[in-house]
Amino acid sequence: MSQQQPTLRGLYYEFAIDKYEGRYWNTNGYGCAVVASIGYEGAWAAYIGGCPPESEDEGLKFVAAHGAKLSEKDAQHFFPELASMPYRP
C-alpha cells in the first residue's frame, strides 16, 4: 500500500511535496506564470517568469524549472497559504 502525501489546500491550489502549483496567464500569445513548489525537506520556494504559450501545464513546468526565484516576501504575496512553512534559501 502506498503512503499518501500530505496536501495543503488553498484558494486555487492543492500543494503537496515534490509538486508545483501556480497561476498562468496568456495575453496576446505570450505566457506568464508564478509557481510555488514544496521540496522533500518541507521548505518551499516560488518562481516567476515568461513561458511558452502552448499550454498552462507546459508554462508552469517551464517556470518551475527556469523562472526567477521570488523573495520570501513576494512569494508570500502570491501564496499566503504557505507562509507558515520555511522558505527555501
**Stronger pLDDT, 13 or 48, i.e. the higher one:** 48
User: Cα dist. 75→26, 85, 86 in Å?
Assistant: 21, 12, 12
pLDDT tens per residue, range 15-60: 666 677 888 998 888 999 999 988 888 899 999 999 888 888 888 8
Integer Cα distance of 36 and 21 in angstroms: 5
Q: Structure pTM?
A: 0.79
